[in-house]
Structure 1
């Protein structure tokens, strides 16, 4: 158990002393970029899905 507590303590010390954290304004900008990319990617995925739905509907209507 002492090894586990030591590991957690050392991990927090490393995060506190050795990690360089970005400025708050940079975090906000990057968050907006990730959110926009996620929305665009979701819309593109939906569009491709709709394209495949229409293509398969057309194909199955042809073979009826």
Structure 2
């Protein structure tokens, strides 16, 4: 397959894509940001606890 044929196939497949609505996009973006913040806070808290425990153990 040559480059032109490849690009035609890409264009053909892109026409089949179902794009999200603006409402869906915003909703999914908010969910992603909130999940990222929650996971980040959990990792931060776990790191602080582990650091404190190790500091107590090793002085």
Give the alignment's TM-score, normalised by structure 1: 0.80
**Match of residue 33 from structure 1:** 31
Q: Secondary structure at the match of 1:9?
A: helix
Counting only pairs closer than 5 Å after superposition, residues 42-57 of structure 1 correspond to structure 2 as 42-57=40-55
Q: Secondary structure at the match of 2:17?
A: coil
Greater than 6 Å deviation, 4+ residue runs:
none
- Rg: which structure is higher? 1
Q: Structure 1 unaligned segments of length 5 or more: list them.
A: none
Give the alignment's TM-score, normalised by structure 2: 0.86
- d(CA) in 2 for partners of 1:29 and 1:52? 35
Q: Structure 2 unaligned segments of length 5 or more: list them.
A: none
